Amino acid sequence: MTDPQTDTEAQITVRDMVCSTCWGSLAIHPAPDRMNNVLCRSNCEETKGYVSKAWAEQEGSKRKSELLEVQRAYPELAGKQKLDQTEDDINDSLGF
């Protein structure tokens, strides 16, 4: 859970940041003492922190480019990606 924020801080966080866990958008939830919690709208696990929207967009573009590069290099694997695999599932399938 993140620390409570003032109205102004929360508005800036929601405007400029996304959830560090899933890169989803954020929402302001009232907290005691006229403070606010800024949490992920997707209700993913737990909002552990934030990353900037700019970084998430740049990283997403980079990952898409890497995926296209792999698909071109290994066309026999195209369409066989399991998008719902966790990091542990992938490591297990690779023998780690």
Say yes or no to pLDDT of 1 above 70: no
pLDDT tier for residue 93 given thresholds of 50, 70 and 90: confident
Question: What's the whole-model pTM score?
Answer: 0.66
Q: What's the length of the chain? A: 96
pLDDT tier for residue 81 given thresholds of 50, 70 and 90: low
Residue 14's pLDDT is what? 95
CA dihedral over 28, 31, 37, 42, signed as positive or negative: negative
Q: Residues 25, 50: contact at Cβ < 8 Å?
A: no
pLDDT tier for residue 79 given thresholds of 50, 70 and 90: low
